[in-house]
Chain A
Amino acid sequence: MSYREKENIINIFSGLLITGLYSWIVYQRHVQGLFDLTEDFSKWGVILLIFIGVSIVARIIIYIIFHILNYIATREEDVPPADERDKLIRLKAMRNGYVVFSGGFVLSVLALAIGMPVYGIFIAFVGFGLLAEIIENSSQIYYYRKGV
């Protein structure tokens, strides 16, 4: 398995782990009554902003751990620079991710129009964001294996 494929698998699992853990913590606080996410929409803004920050920091830490473990396993110290094939694969995978997120956005707005509670759209954004990331990384693995 190439470095890029391993990197994509790590991205999928770190996305699932970070989003899952953070969602669980936020949900527990909501259940405990620390804030009401069904009414207080400004709190959603704060939660999503913190999520972006937490996600970036957690990913940096996970990436460093991955790099160390990969070095121990393969003795390859340097991260291979992205060449034209890597860039093309990244672009195509990103397109797939955007299609999924855009589709999710439209579905969320449609659901809102037919009566879904407003807080549902924030949950849908996080959910479709995660799904788009999984699709993007899975697409990269697919293109690396099957060709582009």
Chain B
Amino acid sequence: MGKNTIKNNIRTLRFLAGEMTQQALADKVGVSRQTIVAIEKEKYSPSLELAFKIARVFDKPLEEVFAFKPEDDTHKTKH
């Protein structure tokens, strides 16, 4: 199972939000801490609804929290 193509800044945003814990974020958006861990490690791409909820917690637009980086782009940047 390779890393997915949805990148995110959740770790940085948590830090900027006064080192918000993963559990606190999980409670705010209604998922388990393990799910937040998986999203941060880019092992799971959240649903659109969950992505919006996370962005809302940080009071940021969706594109400042998540970014779509297809594998083709990664290959292109390597050349």
A binds B: yes
Enumerate chain A interface residues (CB-CB to B < 8 A). 2, 4, 80-81, 83-86, 142-144, 146-148
Using a CB–CB cutoff of 8 Å, the interface residues on chain B facing chain A are 1, 3-4, 30-32, 34-35, 38, 41-44, 46-47, 50
Say whether A147 contacts B1, CB under 8 Å: yes
Q: Do A147 and B4 have beta carbons less than 8 Å apart?
A: yes
Check if A85 sits within 8 Å of B38, measured CB to CB. yes
Judge whether A148 and B35 touch: CB under 8 Å.
no
29 contacts between A and B (CB under 8 A): A2-B34, A4-B34, A80-B32, A81-B32, A83-B30, A83-B35, A84-B35, A84-B46, A84-B47, A84-B50, A85-B31, A85-B32, A85-B35, A85-B38, A85-B44, A85-B46, A86-B35, A143-B1, A144-B34, A146-B1, A146-B43, A147-B1, A147-B3, A147-B4, A147-B42, A147-B44, A148-B38, A148-B43, A148-B44
Label chain B's interface by main secondary structure.
loop
Which 9 A-B residue pairings sit nearest by Cβ, starting from the closest? A147-B43, A83-B31, A146-B1, A85-B35, A147-B1, A80-B32, A2-B34, A85-B44, A83-B35
CB contacts (< 8 Å) of B47 on chain A: these are 84
Q: Which residue of A lies closest to B26 (CB)?
A: A83
A81: chain B residues within 8 A (beta carbon):
32
A4 to B33, CA, bound (A): 12
Interface centre among A2, A4, A147 (most CB of B within 10 A): A147
Determine the chain B residues whose CB is within 8 A of the CB of A2 once the complex forms: 34
Q: Which residues of B contact A84 (CB under 8 A)?
A: 31, 35, 46-47, 50
Min distance, Cβ A142 to any Cβ of chain B, angstroms: 8
Known A146-B43, A148-B43, A148-B44; contact A86-B32, beta-carbon cutoff 8 A: yes
